[in-house]
Amino acid sequence: MLRNRVLAFLVLTAQLLVMIPETGAKVPALIVFGDSTVDSGNNNQISTVLKSNFQPYGRDYLDGKATGRFSNGRIAPDFISEGLGLKNAVPAYLDPEYNIVDFATGVCFASAGTGLDNATSAVLSVMPLWKEVEYYKEYQTRLRSYLGEEKANEIIKESLYLISIGTNDFLENYYLLPRKLRKYSVSEYQNFLIGIAGDFVKDIYRLGARKMSLSGLSPFGCLPLERTTQIFYGSKCIQEYNNVARDFNTKMNEKVSKLNRELDGLQLVFSNPYDLVSEILNHPEAFGFQNVRSACCGTGYYEMSYLCDKMNPFTCSDASKYVFWDSFHPTEKTNAIVASHILKYDLSRFQ
């Protein structure tokens, strides 16, 4: 059933160029929280090794600039912003080239490498989620002094808040710890993370946010970096990781329903890319992809961030044939397909 829906959808979009419908903007701004799936360049301003503001990152971006997005071009929030009738790229809050005039119609507080768990952000010294909220509070103050109390409050209330986070908690934190040092079982850890996600939603709700989209996790056992660890077993996906992502999504979906019942006036949607991404991974050719196991950048098996640089002679010439740009992140084309699907099936009520 879902598979049919997804297949019908791909026939409509992927065969042609991916087209995002232009709508009259019903939300005044897109406000983004999370990790590298949605970071448009905040890590450039932070002292961490997890950066991507150098070529070949960004080589297919609007002006070919490496902005700090972990892709060859735009990322999902950029396409979602455009699809909502807003601007075609969401600026990073810490980027000194932008100011409150720009941020009034869209802003990104995300930080690549972060997680729901504070300990995850500590691994690569990136912004913890609570810090993203601190910057959001500062943004509110700046917005109020720029537009006045009333107009600013309206933007805060009517904007769409996009939250995409959680993969790093498992891949950069939980599964890197030796089994003996893990405080929690996987299931307990999932519950711990979901509790934090719920608290985060409550925090920004108290600050005035009402329209929100919380993203589910993709089958992260199929990321090229994870497959590479199975290289002597046919580079298969790590099924255990995919199961963890799927179970996490089920629990998150329940949490989302609960929050909607609890918080008056909240419009929280759970947008879950898991099935669509599985479909892409299982039938890449149907979406116009030729390569799904390895990434475009470098050898495609392990490179990301500083290892994916322009001196690497193996980088592919046409990223649109690849599902993944580096060993951990999708290409612009994959981002566009996922964003288009989310807009159509999860965010329609905000358009």
**With respect to ligand NAG, which residue has the nearer C-beta, 110 or 223?**
110
User: Using CA atoms, how far apart are residues 326 and 240, in angstroms rounded to an integer?
Assistant: 22
Residues with Cβ within 8 Å of 55's Cβ and at least 6 positions away in sequence, in order, are: 66, 309, 310
Q: Is 184 in the site for ligand NAG (CB under 6 A)?
A: no
Tell me if residue 294 falls in helix, strand or coil: coil
Helix (H) or strand (E) holding 200: helix 186-206
**With respect to ligand NAG, which residue has the nearer C-beta, 82 or 132?**
132
> What's the closest the beta carbon of residue 200 comes to ligand NAG, in angstroms?
10
> What's the closest the beta carbon of residue 61 comes to ligand NAG, in angstroms?
33
Q: Is 329 a catalytic residue?
A: yes
- Residue 283, token pair as written in the block: 């039938």
Binding map of ligand NAG across residues 280-319, x = CB under 6 A, - = no contact: ----------------------------------------
How many alpha carbons fall within 13 Å on the CB side of residue 318?
6
Among 118, 140, 228, 299, binds ligand NAG (CB under 6 A): 118
User: Using CA atoms, how far apart are residues 278 and 273, in angstroms rounded to an integer?
Assistant: 8
Q: Is 196 in the site for ligand NAG (CB under 6 A)?
A: yes
User: Using CA atoms, how far apart are residues 155 and 22, in angstroms rounded to an integer?
Assistant: 21
Among 178, 167, 152, residue whose Cα is nearest residue 31: 152
> What's the closest the beta carbon of residue 115 comes to ligand NAG, in angstroms?
11
**Longest alpha-carbon distance in the chain:** 61
> What's the closest the beta carbon of residue 53 comes to ligand NAG, in angstroms?
27
Contacts with ligand NAG in 122-181 (CB under 6 A)? 130
**With respect to ligand NAG, which residue has the nearer C-beta, 174 or 274?**
174
Q: Is 39 a catalytic residue?
A: no
Type of residue numbered 102:
D
Sites of contact with ligand NAG (CB under 6 A): 118, 130, 196
Q: Which residues are catalytic?
A: 36, 326, 329
